[in-house]
Structure 1
Amino acid sequence: MSLVGDKKNKTLSYNYNKRKLVVALDHPYPRTTPYQVRIVYVAKPNELPQGGSAAITSDKGLYFINPLGLEKNKPRQIWTQGETEANSCWFPTIDKPNQRMTQEISMTVEKQFKTLSNGTLTASKANADGTRTDTWKLKEPHAPYLATMVVGEFAVVNDSWHGKPVDYYVEPQYATTARTIFGRTPEMMDFFSKRLGIEYPWEKYAQVAVRDYVSGAMENTTATTHGSSIQATRRELIDANYQSGESTIAHELFHHWFGDYVTSESWANLPLNESFADYSEFLWAEYKLGADEAGLVQEIKINNYLEEAQSKREPLIRYRYANREDMFDRHSYDKGGRVLHMLRKYVGDEAFFASLNRYLVQNKQTAVEVSKLRTAFEETTGEDLTWFFNQWFMQRGHPELRITHSYANGQVTLRVQQVQDTLFQPVFRLPVTVDVWTNNNQPTEHRIVVTKASQTFVLPASQKPNLVKLDSQVQLLAQFDEERTQDELIFQFYHARGYQQKAEAMELLHNKAAEMPVSSMLRNALNDKFWAVRRAALDHLRRYRGPEPEGMRKDIQRLATTDPNPRVRAQAITTLATFPDGTFGPIYAAAIGDSSALVAAAAIQALAKKPDVTTGQQIATLDNTTSSPLILALASYYSTNGGWSNTPGFCAACPMFPKTTCTPTSSLSEPS
């Protein structure tokens, strides 16, 4: 330990208790006076107390994967994971998000390994002993938890954006699919740069997939780390959807503005990082895939938060928690993203993105708290938004709304009640739109502001409406108990503004699927342009009981064999299998050879209930598969019908392990 001087270094005394390093300087220094301390150390993360959480399962910072090469079919790798405060396990630092540092990291590795770190590769030197030393340098400062280094035998696929390197590091067997997986990254960089009015602010961007990762993905500055599950074969990519990979790529990239460029000053303010990254998933889907796909994102995110809210309701910005990693929850992510969506809809797109630009420009390369975000919006809009930030960021919970309406004398009377427990949650102020539909024409929009626990609004209508719908564009984060008749819900489906309104109508009527108007609605949904509507309709028809409308089975068979989306084909097969008198064997047999593993797995599950004399031979052709959906389906088939004793690839009693470790039994629940 030494103080770096102009002419010579001065030895310093220090104390280290395996958690904190305390250095005694040679004399007191004013806080504005710079000085340099040189620390020579050896990192031993495996000797430190180990912890972890549901979000980040280990906190030792530095990981050696299969270091001796003893694990078959697993590569040798080194990688790091710094968030929340684990990077101090492998280099000395003030490990807090309100710190910023530049860095230079040199790694000496065997020549077959590739390296990756933050910033740019500034030197790569071959050594006399056959090793190689790579030096990576990050010029702009960032928070210590964002530092990373990765070593492995990777294939590197090169791309670029505006002259900046954009690289994808994958295991060699995925080199041919890397561009399919990550290839929209440059377009995302372009889209986010234009939306925010700030060009991607770092010198390069790389993404790497590693084994045994302890989190989902991590936005290390200029070098995002993904778990290995983002890698995929060509067949696996057939079944990929937006949520299975591309949304994560957008999420981690957006962090390079919100989290890396501007950083939350404490873990209490984590939503300033994560809510924005979460909302970027919606923004990219809206731009690239359309309103329906964005609506599906919105539905999933709202449901994620509401599920957690059954047992946990906390403010988004919270200064009390048992463990800092408790902040990595569905509040900081899913709720926070929906709060930003409400803010966007309240102030409008122009003001929303102008405010984000102001926030980033004013606070670049600093650590901030939530007041900085509020100030940026208030300076842009000229409006006091304390009420919005207080109720959505600083207070817990969400509105639980009971909505009824009636019509008389040319007026709609709409009653909105907030029935949440107001001892622990506020009565919310809710600017929202009400749509009143009459004569099947375009709706009349009424802008109202709900401010009371119980409030009545009177709206003009020339005749009894076909539908009165609060928040028809699904902007509010709320639970809804909205009174509507069957006719109104069917009308809502046919006149819905987007996916979520159609999905809600089908969900609320699914237990009436045997009634002709509802079954007709569901059959109409089978022809919807959006795949998730078709899949949802099939799922509801799976529970259909009653006299079948003519042609319904043919509609489902058509989707099972010809729908372009594999998730729809798989659901159609699952639905066909619920008809007790069905004779769909030829469809199932053909589906076993489908290009989609999900479709083939659904067919195997269907055949497990009603196999014929040729089924076993067809199934056996898949016994050596490595596809997870097929392995699970085969295990289900053999557990029901027997026969795995002749299977060369695995034991159905424990299908992820070689047969030699198990004696076959008659039940999955009874492995030897």
Structure 2
Amino acid sequence: MNHRFLSIVGLAAAMAFTSACSANKAVVDTQAAQDVKRKVAVAPADTVPAWAPKKHQFNPSRTNVHDLLHTTLRVGFDWEKQYLNGLAELRLKPYFYPQDSLVLDAKGMDIHSVNLMKGFDATPLQYAYDGQKLRIKLDKTYTRNEEYVVEIDYTAKPNELPAGGSDAITADKGLYFINPLGEEPNKPQQIWTQGETEASSAWFPTIDAPNERMTQDIYITVDPKFTTLSNGVFMYSRKNADGTKTDYWRQELPHAPYLAMMAIGEFAQVKDKWRDRELTYYVEPEYQGTAKKIFGNTPEMMEFFSKKLGVAYPWPKYAQVVVRDYVSGAMENTSASVFMEDLQLNERELLDKNWDGIIAHELFHQWFGDYVTTESWANLPLNEAFANYSEYLWAEHKFGADEAAYLQLDELGQYLDEAETKREPLIRYYYGDKEDMFDAHSYAKGGRVLHMLRKLVGDEAFFASLNRYLTDNKFSAVEVAELRMAFEDVTGMDLMWFFDQWFMQPGHPELQVAQTYQNGQLSLQVKQVQDTAYMPVYRLPLEVAVWAGGKKTTYPIVVDKANQTFTFNTATKPELVLFDAEQQLLGTVAHEKSEQELLYQFYHAGQLAPKLEALTKLEEKLQNPEVLKMYQAALKDDYWRVRSTGINALSNLSQEQAGVVAPTIKQMALEDEKGAVRADAVLALAGWGGEKYKAVFEQAMQDSSYQAAAAGIMAYAGTGAADIRERLRQFEEEKNEEIVLALATNYAVQAGPEKYDWFVRQINQAKGGGLYYLLQSFGAFLAGNSETNTPEAINLLAGIAQNHRMYYVRASAYQALMVMSERPEVQALLNEIRQNETDKRLLEMYGQ
């Protein structure tokens, strides 16, 4: 869900009921970390903190017994049964030691035959299969210099596998049939795969480990109406006698098996180009006209990253495909990334949002993850931290320093939120499940650590080191030591201390900073107060910026003790001391400042985080004329998020107090260049008396921005105007999520039974985060309209609560059902849902 929209639809959740489960970060964006002095609760000294690293067994990388050199797949599909019928030909050799048997990963398949192939001659081989591992007895003992080929005739049956997955990747069936019989309205028929972490072996037999590499050929037989996509280069399409076609894709450069992919559907293909490489954007035909606006920055990204890294994009083509019901946000399959359907936007939606962050993320993986691959899931940050940091690099390049700084604040907030209950090393050999690695540590913390490494060594050395890392390790699997050695080889520095404290140790520094000034000397006392039973005393090269007599001076310091004092000579008492002047630190800093210091900081620090800190900390001081003046200045800031922050703070003024700022905010509601700011301004005006600004709300409802229009709907609905129902009815055919949720918020408490059919229609076509909020409004609607508590409504909610792939949507449906819990049949359903639920988060919630 779009981050900005939460402020518009948050009322819907409050009207319905509070939730005991948190929203999935992959779908519902967290609020920005505007308060840079975030604090983590510390448990009493005699207890184990809730976040203490858990004890798990050691998880090494997979031992290389055989080397999988090449895979040839010939696949067709039974859409009705949702089976893949395959013939896999694998060319291998022993990795080092002689071998007389082969063990392959093959999950939930029917194995029809296994043969040793010499040319076209097939010799049956003995094998044993337990539903997970295929153990093959070879015809002799092979040495590491001898290659051999096995052929496996099999049927993959992904829907018969037990359910699994994680927050980041919500299922692990490997192969997915979408609307296989074509019976679901408004949903295309598709087949797509998702291999990470080890789910490729659910659709073809392989050695399903990240430290394995293979080249591949895939022959895909489908109805001619379908377009296919796979890794590498499209070679040809052949018509078959039975009316089908077979498309042939070749991947000539080696990659890990989890990066193998297929996507099949009735896609529109929009062509683009970067240098001599073909780019293709695969979207549903409805979005053919906007595909280049959605993905159109890809060529510029490829050029930017290629030049920054000194390594040109390494694959022969790049494709990006949008699919339905995807189990993650996106996936970086080699030369062919897959994206969730949220990326498909119409012209009007593109006015409010872009998906450049996720597009850059998957593209950067083509280097960090595909070209060079982590040898084990314990080393996942070597993939994900870099992909996350690419979002910062792109934002810095394309949209400026403030947008990049905002991303970093958001990343810090995500990590610190998770750190309240979980603190693990970035590189984790001790984990309970490999899926646990896909968390805010590997992504958000990892990206911030890379930024600190960049600041430590400098830009030139940082990118030269990345070039060394990529060049030395191309087409191979790596662990974190190889990244460290690349940096040490380039810089000549011993960086063991940095990698040890940031990659190998859990937690983060928690600093308390106190300043005093006396006799021309500024003293800063810095304490590291983190629990050193679990976390180190950090070594932190930082800068302190001091403004004295209107002049800024920057001092480099190294914090490396639990308690130390730094002194600086200043002729006058400083107007401001800014600790961590570059705002690079991953951690918390408690540094008390006066109102005057915060005001000075807003005007002079010149960076987003200090500016937002001042706005946040002075929000309750609006009666001070100087503070009010600061917020008025924020309304004119070049960066739209600062303007929005100013509006949202000023909206807390009473109607009488708002007189001095209301005209400016009214003008912003009508004229600000950013739809999100116009939306915030409209909602602020709504809080100061709707009738007075009715004309503004009427104009907002017709705004080109869906966000502003949704705010206009919410605001106009609060005016008490006689034509509210008629006005809102005009928007009931809109499919845009912002508009739908704005209507639902109003209908939840204002509408009668006549809106039941509208709710059902919207629920049946909603997705992800939008469905989560819509169900909450529906619950409130059902509570106020008992005559709509029909068997149809009960069955609708029960189906979602039992079957939806997103746990938080299941929770929302469960909560809506509870509105009718006095009915015996509903109570029985709730019990059944609890008994069949396997997600530990929901089980905890349902047990409360």
Fold shared by both chains (TM-score > 0.5): yes
The structural deviation recorded for 1:551 is 3.1
1:484 aligned residue (593, 599, 618): 593
Cα distance between partner residues in 1 of 2:193 and 2:585: 39
Structure 1 stretch displaced more, 534-543 or 616-625 = 616-625
The structural deviation recorded for 1:583 is 1.3
1:298-357 deviation line (CA, Å, top 9, x unaligned): 111110101100110000000111110100000000000000000000000000000000
Aligned twin of 1:536: 645
**1:651 and 2:758 aligned:** yes
For structure 2, the residue ranges without an aligned partner over 5 or more in a row are 1-113, 766-777, 790-848
Cα distance between partner residues in 2 of 1:219 and 1:341: 22
State the SS of the aligned residue for 1:96. coil
Aligned twin of 2:453: 343
State the SS of the aligned residue for 2:148. coil
1:585/1:666 Cα in 2 relative to 1: closer, same or farther (>3 Å)?
Answer: farther
Specify the code of the residue in structure 2 equivalent to 1:10: T
1:576/1:472 Cα in 2 relative to 1: closer, same or farther (>3 Å)?
Answer: farther
Is the 2:517–2:573 contact (alpha carbons within 8 Å) kept by the matching residues of 1? yes
Aligned twin of 1:85: 198
2:489 aligned residue (379, 382, 385): 379
State the SS of the aligned residue for 2:465. helix
1:368 aligned residue (464, 470, 478): 478
Specify the code of the residue in structure 1 equivalent to 2:197: T
The structural deviation recorded for 1:93 is 0.3
The structural deviation recorded for 1:81 is 0.3
Aligned twin of 2:314: 201
Specify the code of the residue in structure 1 equivalent to 2:728: I
**1:12 and 2:125 aligned:** yes
State the SS of the aligned residue for 1:473. coil
Specify the code of the residue in structure 2 equivalent to 1:68: L
State the SS of the aligned residue for 2:250. strand
Specify the code of the residue in structure 1 equivalent to 2:371: Y
Specify the code of the residue in structure 1 equivalent to 2:614: A
TM-score, scaled to structure 2: 0.76
2:675 aligned residue (560, 566, 575): 566
Aligned twin of 2:627: 518
Is the 1:339–1:477 contact (alpha carbons within 8 Å) kept by the matching residues of 2? yes
Taking every aligned residue pair, what percent have the same amino acid on both sides?
52
The structural deviation recorded for 1:616 is 2.6
State the SS of the aligned residue for 1:28. strand
Cα distance between partner residues in 2 of 1:99 and 1:7: 27
1:130 aligned residue (237, 243, 246): 243
State the SS of the aligned residue for 1:60. coil
TM-score, scaled to structure 1: 0.96
Aligned twin of 2:110: none
Aligned twin of 1:399: 509
**1:298 and 2:408 aligned:** yes
Cα distance between partner residues in 2 of 1:546 and 1:634: 26
2:603 aligned residue (494, 510, 523): 494
**1:460 and 2:569 aligned:** yes
State the SS of the aligned residue for 2:321. strand
Aligned twin of 2:437: 327
Specify the code of the residue in structure 2 equivalent to 1:162: R
1:88/1:461 Cα in 2 relative to 1: closer, same or farther (>3 Å)?
Answer: same
Cα distance between partner residues in 1 of 2:168 and 2:780: 37
Is the 1:435–1:445 contact (alpha carbons within 8 Å) kept by the matching residues of 2? yes
Specify the code of the residue in structure 1 equivalent to 2:730: T
Cα distance between partner residues in 2 of 1:110 and 1:532: 49
Structure 1 stretch displaced more, 587-596 or 538-547 = 538-547
1:263 aligned residue (373, 386, 391): 373
Is the 1:101–1:144 contact (alpha carbons within 8 Å) kept by the matching residues of 2? yes
Cα distance between partner residues in 2 of 1:18 and 1:639: 49
Is the 2:752–2:785 contact (alpha carbons within 8 Å) kept by the matching residues of 1? no
Is the 1:642–1:666 contact (alpha carbons within 8 Å) kept by the matching residues of 2? no
1:33-78 deviation line (CA, Å, top 9, x unaligned): 2222122222122222231222211111011111110001100000
Aligned twin of 1:145: 258
Question: Superposed, which structure 2 residues align to 1:72-471 within 5 Å?
Answer: 72-241=185-354, 245-441=355-551, 443-471=552-580
Cα distance between partner residues in 2 of 1:574 and 1:284: 32
Structure 1 stretch displaced more, 207-216 or 36-45 = 36-45
Specify the code of the residue in structure 1 equivalent to 2:505: Q
Cα distance between partner residues in 1 of 2:477 and 2:188: 37
The structural deviation recorded for 1:581 is 7.7
Cα distance between partner residues in 2 of 1:204 and 1:373: 27
Structure 1 stretch displaced more, 467-476 or 544-553 = 544-553
State the SS of the aligned residue for 1:25. strand
Structure 1 stretch displaced more, 605-614 or 136-145 = 605-614
1:393-439 deviation line (CA, Å, top 9, x unaligned): 00000011111111111111011111111111111100000000012
Cα distance between partner residues in 2 of 1:669 and 1:525: 44
Aligned length: 664
Aligned twin of 2:739: 630
The structural deviation recorded for 1:606 is 1.7
Cα distance between partner residues in 2 of 1:451 and 1:374: 21
Aligned twin of 2:184: 71
The structural deviation recorded for 1:644 is 6.6
1:34/1:450 Cα in 2 relative to 1: closer, same or farther (>3 Å)?
Answer: same
The structural deviation recorded for 1:598 is 1.0
Where relative contact order (Cα < 8 A, 6+ residues apart) is larger, the structure is: 2
Specify the code of the residue in structure 2 equivalent to 1:379: D
Is the 1:635–1:655 contact (alpha carbons within 8 Å) kept by the matching residues of 2? no
Is the 1:118–1:221 contact (alpha carbons within 8 Å) kept by the matching residues of 2? yes
Is the 1:473–1:497 contact (alpha carbons within 8 Å) kept by the matching residues of 2? no
The structural deviation recorded for 1:652 is 4.8
State the SS of the aligned residue for 2:234. strand
2:134 aligned residue (21, 30, 35): 21
Is the 1:653–1:664 contact (alpha carbons within 8 Å) kept by the matching residues of 2? no
Is the 1:650–1:656 contact (alpha carbons within 8 Å) kept by the matching residues of 2? no
Cα distance between partner residues in 2 of 1:484 and 1:224: 47
1:545/1:511 Cα in 2 relative to 1: closer, same or farther (>3 Å)?
Answer: farther
Structure 1 stretch displaced more, 483-492 or 26-35 = 26-35
1:14/1:422 Cα in 2 relative to 1: closer, same or farther (>3 Å)?
Answer: same
1:103/1:581 Cα in 2 relative to 1: closer, same or farther (>3 Å)?
Answer: closer
Structure 1 stretch displaced more, 631-640 or 113-122 = 631-640
Cα distance between partner residues in 1 of 2:517 and 2:654: 35
The structural deviation recorded for 1:522 is 0.6
Cα distance between partner residues in 1 of 2:640 and 2:664: 15
State the SS of the aligned residue for 2:525. strand
1:433-454 deviation line (CA, Å, top 9, x unaligned): 000001223x100000000111
Specify the code of the residue in structure 1 equivalent to 2:570: A
Aligned twin of 1:3: 116
Specify the code of the residue in structure 1 equivalent to 2:633: N
State the SS of the aligned residue for 2:585. coil
Cα distance between partner residues in 2 of 1:282 and 1:124: 40
**1:593 and 2:706 aligned:** no
Cα distance between partner residues in 1 of 2:170 and 2:275: 37
The structural deviation recorded for 1:637 is 1.8
State the SS of the aligned residue for 1:316. coil
1:347/1:631 Cα in 2 relative to 1: closer, same or farther (>3 Å)?
Answer: same
The structural deviation recorded for 1:582 is 6.6
State the SS of the aligned residue for 2:141. coil
Is the 1:608–1:636 contact (alpha carbons within 8 Å) kept by the matching residues of 2? no
Is the 2:747–2:781 contact (alpha carbons within 8 Å) kept by the matching residues of 1? no
Cα distance between partner residues in 2 of 1:644 and 1:472: 58
